[in-house]
Amino acid sequence: MKEWFTAREIAELGLPAVPGTKRGVQALADRENWTTHPFLARDRKGAEGGGGREYHFRLFPTEAQLEFTRRVLAVRKEVVRADNGDVQITFKGSDSARRERDARLAILAVFEQFRSGLSLGLASSLQIFCDRYNVGSLPVEDWIRETVPHLSKRSLQRWRSAKRSGGADRLAVDRSAARKGKGVLDSANGGTVRALIFALVAHQPHLSADHVRTLCRDEFGDTITIDRRGRSVTVDMPPIRTFQHFIKRLKETEKVALTKLSNPDHYRSTMAPAGVGALRHIREPNALWQIDASPVDALCTDGRHAIYACIDIATRRTLFYISKTPRAAAVAMLLRRAILAWGVPDVIKTDNGPDFVARDTKRLFAALDIEMDVSDAYSPQQKGHVERVIKTFQHDCATLLPGFVGHSVADRKAIEDRKTFADRLGADTAELFGVSMTGPELQRYVDEWVELRYQHRPHAGLKGKTPAEAATASTASIRTVDPRALDVLLMPVAGQDGLRTVTKTGIRIDHFHYVINAALPGAQVLARMDPNDAGRAVAFDAGDGSYLGEAICAELAGIHPSTLLAAKREAQAETLNAATRQARSKIREITKGRPLIERVHEVARRDLPNVLALPKREERHETPAIAAALDAVTPAEAPVQPERAAELLEEMRKEMNAPTVPAPDTAASAVTPIRRQETPQLRFRRALDLEQRIAAGESVDTADAVWLGGYQAGPEYRALSAMQEDFGG
């Protein structure tokens, strides 16, 4: 394949991260010092007068190299040779084993060619090559694709080791003899049973084998279809023990995939491919900075502070700024410290938090001609250098600070447990963790740690140099900014956007009028407020940004406000996680469909015995308390009209004076017995009799006493008592 190209040919390739014009490529070559590589840059052959240069494709940016190799590489059959170089003819093995060997050899040959053209580590090369093979971006012969439909980094590395240790024949394998993946649940119903089990385990890892089997019965019924010697056979759903073995094996063989689905953060931290040296092309200071923030793992006397970090990728120099709360002003102060110390950078990689993408932060970047590169949401790996330096600070510096609270909840609990329960009882946070440090003291400790320890540590990314040595060795010029101009650019704008229209009374800011002599009425200006003088603002033309002059408020001139207007934060944009293949789709179906508990209950209903229960013989159970309760829930009678009160009272007296028949077993008792149909007058008479007996000191049955207490608390007793009193009963 062609490996050398002129600037015009490079521009015509249309590669990513490469300009599309000849002049742009020449500027890229000058900026990246392509001509300084003696073996990768040369004079163009056949050029008259010595003009023209050619560059090897290994000088391209990493993204361009990957795209170039993808275009030119093709996976084709390789001729198998013996150790002495002769073509190997004899092979002891089946045709399928030979086919497997030849396919793997072809893939290995292309991988070695792919790796030789990239300045990447082995792990990164393996991952990128496998990804391109799996997505179909590499031209592969059909028989090779059929033999090896999917390629993993582990398999490719194993093939390389096998070829080095035992030759080409070590790559031969007879897949027909392997039993892996041929179990009942692997192939049942065309693989849909396995897909459902995979999705269930990924969606809810705590499901038991019984749960999974029950949900499979809900989805597929009590029977499944398997392939047995070329014909479809229907069998019963396997027992729970089979599901237990299958789920255990699935969790072992698909550990990475299940972790990615069930715990994305753990996958990203421990299993996701992590590139090494991806930013090695950044060789000059201030070419790329990365900034980020994190809470400090130590408490101050006024609470927990946030630490803002800035790192220069080329030299690994680092600066920190301590802020009480996350805000855009803290980002501005961090950049002020870094710019005054190092110069103005070309690009800054930022987080997508509201303090980093605030309107004031964007305006500051634009004013300083700094390109802002915002990372994707929930993608800390895109700014791994600053993430790593914050972790280094937390574990090396914060651990030594007074008020250290640990790096996690478990660490904090362990620190608290160092004291006995008696010591912890009633103690506040400051006493538990020994908090004695103020915010300014924390800033001083951090600055000293950077200057005395971090800057003088050898760094693997700098080939053993320290950040201080790397910065000193650089001869590149830096762009500086006058501190006075930088302070003006860091001034907060008036209101939300700082734009004001000049009137005959000046500009209005927070209900005060500021007079601008250099601007005519009708002009639109950008006003920046002086942090040290509330009566002074600096005005710039809203169109071209030119300086117009000062705006003075006569009422506030010379007044120093205690606080200034804070920059309004912008809302954090919402993100979607990347869709997962078949398992993710299945999880969405499970989530949107019937709840899992309904499916389990549906299967349980089918398992219930089909037995019709006979009706039970019933008899009414009654007690005085039950009767009283029934009286309480009986609807109250309509209120008695005043004109009918005398008549009702007379009827009640006649009924109460009527002779009563004592119960057979209590002939001497004068209390009206409990009857199924009692009128209000009889119940009231019975209550009066019980009250008279109790007043006379006679003994009363417990049931009668309970009934009397409940009846006296009811509305019927109170109403009849009131009527008796009103009419002289």
Identity at 106, one-letter amino acid code: A
656 pLDDT tier (thresholds 50, 70, 90):
low
Same domain for 345 and 451, yes or no, is yes
Quick check: 496 and 521 in contact, CB under 8 A? Answer: no
Same domain for 385 and 298, yes or no, is yes
Helix axes 439-452, 384-396, angle to 10 degrees: 110
Q: Tell me which of 120, 144, 175 is where a domain ends.
A: 175
Q: Which of 312-321, 593-602, 634-643 tops mean pLDDT?
A: 312-321
Quick check: 694 and 712 in contact, CB under 8 A? Answer: no
Q: Cα-Cα-Cα-Cα dihedral of 521, 526, 530, 536, to 10°?
A: 0
Same domain for 515 and 462, yes or no, is no
Same domain for 388 and 509, yes or no, is no
Q: Tell me which of 159, 175, 191 is where a domain ends.
A: 175
Quick check: 520 and 547 in contact, CB under 8 A? Answer: no
Quick check: 364 and 306 in contact, CB under 8 A? Answer: no
What's 339's domain CATH number?
3.30.420.10
Which alpha helices (H) appear in 117-253, and where do they start and end?
122-135, 142-147, 153-166, 184-187, 192-203, 209-220, 240-253
Cα separation, 69 vs 58, in Å, equals: 10
The mean pLDDT value for 687-711 works out to 84
Write down the pLDDT at residue 78.
56
Q: Determine which helix (DSSP H) or strand (DSSP E) holds 591, and give its type and residue range.
A: helix 582-592
Confirm whether 75 is domain-assigned.
Answer: no
Write down the pLDDT at residue 405.
81
Confirm whether 315 is domain-assigned.
Answer: yes
Query: Which among 590, 592, 625 is positioned nearest to 212, based on CA atoms?
Result: 590
Among the ranges given (369-373, 572-576, 711-715), the one the predictor scored with the smallest mean pLDDT: 572-576
320 pLDDT tier (thresholds 50, 70, 90):
very high
Q: Tell me which of 175, 210, 236 is where a domain ends.
A: 175
pLDDT digits (tens, 9 = 90+) for 432-456: 666 778 888 999 999 999 999 999 9
pLDDT digits (tens, 9 = 90+) for 234-284: 889 999 999 999 999 888 888 888 888 877 767 666 666 554 556 777 888
Confirm whether 83 is domain-assigned.
Answer: no
Helix axes 680-695, 715-726, angle to 10 degrees: 80
Cα separation, 386 vs 245, in Å, equals: 44
The mean pLDDT value for 113-135 works out to 79
Same domain for 325 and 444, yes or no, is yes
Same domain for 444 and 374, yes or no, is yes
Same domain for 593 and 522, yes or no, is no
- 461 pLDDT exceeds 90? no
- 315 pLDDT exceeds 80? yes
Same domain for 169 and 185, yes or no, is no
Write down the pLDDT at residue 30.
86
Quick one: 640 exposed, middle or buried, by C-beta within 10 A (0-12, 13-18, 19+)?
middle
Say how many domains are in the chain. Answer: 6
Write down the pLDDT at residue 91.
54
317 pLDDT tier (thresholds 50, 70, 90):
very high
139 pLDDT tier (thresholds 50, 70, 90):
confident
Strands 53-56 and 41-43, how do they pair? antiparallel
467 pLDDT tier (thresholds 50, 70, 90):
very high
| Mean of per-residue pLDDT scores for the chain | 77
Confirm whether 366 is domain-assigned.
Answer: yes
Same domain for 654 and 526, yes or no, is no
653 pLDDT tier (thresholds 50, 70, 90):
low
Same domain for 306 and 349, yes or no, is yes
Confirm whether 483 is domain-assigned.
Answer: no
Pick the more confident residue, 466 or 640.
Answer: 466
Quick check: 509 and 500 in contact, CB under 8 A? Answer: yes
Confirm whether 719 is domain-assigned.
Answer: yes
Range of the domain at 202: 179-276+583-611
Confirm whether 619 is domain-assigned.
Answer: no
Torsion region of 706: left, alpha or beta (phi above 0 gives left; psi -120 to 50 gives alpha): alpha
Same domain for 292 and 312, yes or no, is yes
C-alpha dist (Å) from residue 345 to 102, 435, 481, 494: 52, 38, 11, 27
The mean pLDDT value for 165-184 works out to 63
Cβ neighbors of 544 (< 8 A, separation 6 or more) are none
The mean pLDDT value for 319-326 works out to 85
Pick the more confident residue, 265 or 384.
Answer: 384
DSSP classification of residue 345: -
- 50 pLDDT exceeds 50? no
Confirm whether 319 is domain-assigned.
Answer: yes
Pick the more confident residue, 141 or 574.
Answer: 141
**Which residues, listed in sequence order, are joined to residue 304 by a DSSP beta bridge?**
299
Query: Which among 161, 173, 176, 160 is positioned nearest to 98, based on CA atoms?
Result: 173
Cα separation, 310 vs 454, in Å, equals: 13
Quick check: 583 and 195 in contact, CB under 8 A? Answer: yes
What's 31's domain CATH number?
1.10.10.10
Give the rounded percent of residues in the chain with a pLDDT score beyond 70.
75
Write down the pLDDT at residue 403.
81
pLDDT digits (tens, 9 = 90+) for 74-101: 555 555 554 444 444 445 556 677 778 7
The mean pLDDT value for 518-529 works out to 81
Among the ranges given (306-315, 414-423, 607-616, 707-716), the one the predictor scored with the smallest mean pLDDT: 414-423
Same domain for 189 and 334, yes or no, is no
Write down the pLDDT at residue 22.
87
Cβ neighbors of 601 (< 8 A, separation 6 or more) are none
